[in-house]
Amino acid sequence: MNVRVVGRSTPSGQGSVRNVGSGIPWLKKYKSGEEQTRGTGARLQNLNEIETKTMARLSTGIGELDRVLGEGLVLGEVCLMIGEPGIGKSTLLTQLSLNLERTVYVCGEESPGQVRLRIERMQKGKKAQNKEPKLKLLAETDVDVILTTIEKEDIALLIIDSVQTLYTADLPGMAGSVGQIRECTGRLIAYAKRKNVPIMLVGHVTKEGEMAGPKVLEHMVDAVLELTGDRYYDLRILRTQKNRFGATDEVGVFQMSETGMMEVTNPSQLFLAEREEGAIGSAVAVIMEGTRPVLVEVQALVVESELPVPRRVAQGVDARRVQILLGVLQKYTRLAVGSKDVFVKVTGGLSVKEPAIDLATVLAIASSVRGKALPKNAVAIGEVGLLGEIRSVGWEQKREKEAQKLGYTQIYSRSSQRSNPSSMYFTRKRRRSRLLAIRL
C-alpha cells in the first residue's frame, strides 16, 4: 500500500505524513499498478510471425560505390558522406547525379553555375550522350523551402551539399550549429522515409578528422561513408563507417582525374605497377581493405647514422610499430640496426595500420641491411611478435589466393612455414616459440 501526498508518492511504512502549509494534505490510498498510463499499448509479435521483405535498391551506376553501399542505395535511405575539403566528395556525388534520372542537387556551398562548370569539365573528352542528364539544381539552404519545393516533384535521389549549410527559421542559431544540424537532418530523414526517396548528405570534418557537428548525426542516418586520400596523390578510398543495410567493412577505390573519379577494380596492379623487380630494400605485403585483399610495396632504406640518436622515419606505417620491429631484429637476428638511420615507406600514398604488414617491413629492412634483394615472386603475410615469432593474421588464405593470382608463388607466412619449413629459417631459444632468423 502506498500513500500519495499532493502528487508525491511514498511508502506507507515510512511513518506519518507532514502537513503541507496550514492544512492537512489530501491523502489518497491506492494499490500499486493503479496509476493511469498513457497510450493504449502496442501489440507484441512472435519472431516467427514477422515477415521479411527484400529491400529495393537503386544502383548508382558506379561499381565501387555500389560495393560500399551494398549493391546500391536502399529506397528511403539517408547516407552521410564525410571527408576533408577538396578530397572529391562533390565530384563523386556529381557523377552519381549524372548516372541517375530525376535527381535534385541542392547546392548550398556552390552556385548552380559552378556546378555546371564542374559537370562540363567532367564530360570533356567523353562521347556526346544521346540525351541530356535529367538533373535539377536548387540553390537554397532553408530546409523548409527545400522540402516545400520538392514535395510535389517526382524525384529518385536527393543530394544535399552540404548539411552544415542548412538551417530552419523555427530554431535560433546560425547554420552549422548543433541544434540546426540535428533538426534539419531530422526533417530530411522524415521526408526520405515518407516519400521512399534516398538522400545523400555531404558532411564536413574537423582538423582531427572527426565529423563536424553533433555526434548524434551519425546515429540518425542509415549509413556513414568516409572518403580519404592524400591530396598529393590521386588515390581515393571510400570506407564504410556505418551501414544499416550492408556490410561495414567494405571499401571502394578510386583514382582522381580531370574527368572525375575513375574506378579502380584491381588496386593491387595499381600499387605495384611501378615496382622495380630485384630492388634492394623492397618487399610486397598483402593487406586487407575491407574484405578485399590488396598487394602493396613496402620500401626500406638503412644507412649509417651521422647523429648521436639514429633517426626512425616511417611513412604510411606506424612509426612506433617500426621501432618495435627494429628492437625485435636487434635482439633475435644478427642485423645491426641499432646505430643506423632507418626509413620505411608504403608506396602509393596508402596508410596501413594492420599488423599483417609487419613481416614485409622486417624483410624490407633486412634486405636493405644485407644489400640483397628478395625473390621477385615473394610476398610476405604475417605479424611479428615481441619474441620474434611470426603470428597468423585474419583472412590468411584469402590473402594467399590473391597473391598467387598475381604471380607471387613464394609466400612467407605462418601457414607457409608449416608446409615449407625451408622457406624461412627458424630456431628455438629457451623453449620459447619459434624465433625468426632471416636468411637472405
pLDDT in tens, 40-98: 778 888 988 877 677 789 999 999 999 999 989 999 999 999 999 889 999 999 999 99
Tell how strand 78-83 and strand 223-228 pair up.
Answer: parallel
Q: What are the DSSP E strand ranges found in 84-171?
A: 103-107, 135-138, 157-161
Residue 332 has pLDDT above 90, yes or no: no
Query: What is the rounded radius of gyration, in angstroms, for the C-alpha atoms of the chain?
Result: 30
Alpha carbon distance 157, 155 (integer Å): 6
Residue 432 has pLDDT above 50, yes or no: no
In 224-381, alpha helices (H) = 267-271, 319-332, 358-370
Instruction: Please report, rounded to a whole number, the percentage of residues in the chain having pLDDT higher than 90.
Output: 58
Q: Which domains does the chain have, with CATH numbers?
A: 1-34 (no CATH), 57-265 (3.40.50.300), 269-437 (3.30.230.10)
What value does the mean pLDDT take over residues 348-377?
A: 93
What value does the mean pLDDT take over residues 415-419?
A: 59
Residue 21 has pLDDT above 60, yes or no: no
Opening angle at CA 221, ends 220 and 225, nearest 5: 135
Q: Which residues pair with 313 in a beta bridge?
A: 343
Task: Please tell me the predicted confidence (pLDDT) of residue 17.
Answer: 47
Instruction: Please report, rounded to a whole number, the percentage of residues in the chain having pLDDT higher than 70.
Output: 82
SS3 (DSSP) at 137: strand
Task: Please tell me the predicted confidence (pLDDT) of residue 256.
Answer: 92
- For residues 267 and 230, the model is more confident at 267
Phi, psi of 383 (to 5 degrees): -100, 145
What does the pLDDT look like over 302-313, one tens digit per residue? 999 999 999 999
Confidence of residue 33 (pLDDT cuts 50, 70, 90): low
What value does the mean pLDDT take over residues 245-257?
A: 89
What does the pLDDT look like over 155-181, one tens digit per residue? 999 999 989 999 999 999 898 888 999
Alpha carbon distance 176, 186 (integer Å): 14
Confidence of residue 127 (pLDDT cuts 50, 70, 90): low
